[in-house]
Chain A
Amino acid sequence: MPATKKVHVTTTINGEEIDFLCEPRHSLLEVLRDNLGLTGSKEGCNNGNCGACTVLLNGRPVDSCLVLGVEVEGAEIETVEGIACSSSLHPVQECFLEGAALQCGICTPGFLVAAKALLDKDPHASEETIRFNLAGNLCRCTGYDKIVRAVQAAGQRMSADA
């Protein structure tokens, strides 16, 4: 099969306007990682089952392995690299560290993105709501206990800061 013609895409990533060329078959995850050097989003399964590649697309968490690069024309994307504000960590990042909510860290970017999206809407999310909303993110190291607690703690810190 001859290489397919590349498509020009303009989008906003972590607040910055970016344009890139990609083949129609390239996923958003491939574009982020291979074309743009944003390797914080991880590939765990490449079929939407592990959540390690979670990014926000127009404010909604999506598995970036299931989105095509060409689909994000004109969209706003937020990745794990955009969560920290200038030199300080976001409360959800702080709480993951303080609460030891990561071990190997490969699933952490996806969890942080998904958790921030939830807490932005509902900083007082209950344990059940957190478990429901983050069930698309797999972690094989922690057993989830400390992740749930970290998300709860981050919600509290965000509402106290607000």
Chain B
Amino acid sequence: MATVFIPSQLRELSDGIPSVEIDAKNVREIVNQLDEMFPGFKERICLDGDIAPSLQVSIDNIMTSRGMIAKVQPHSEVHFIPAIGGG
């Protein structure tokens, strides 16, 4: 099971629950399951069916831009965080 952290601004959807355990192979499965658990979740973080470009997904030590197809390991820790650029 991957541990998925609910962004603090979306905890209004999760009744304040900060994280959930989800059995998933990739980010798409996580997002779909989260949307079932907490209706409206997907709409908040997705644009045109993929992770919104203003966001990126942190999976363990990587910050991936692969969006929905990014792979998740059984004990991964997953966060949705702002996308950042550098100078």
Task: Please say whether the chains A and B touch (CB closer than 8 A).
Answer: no
Chain B residues within CB distance 8 Å of chain A:
none
Chain A residues within CB distance 8 Å of chain B:
none
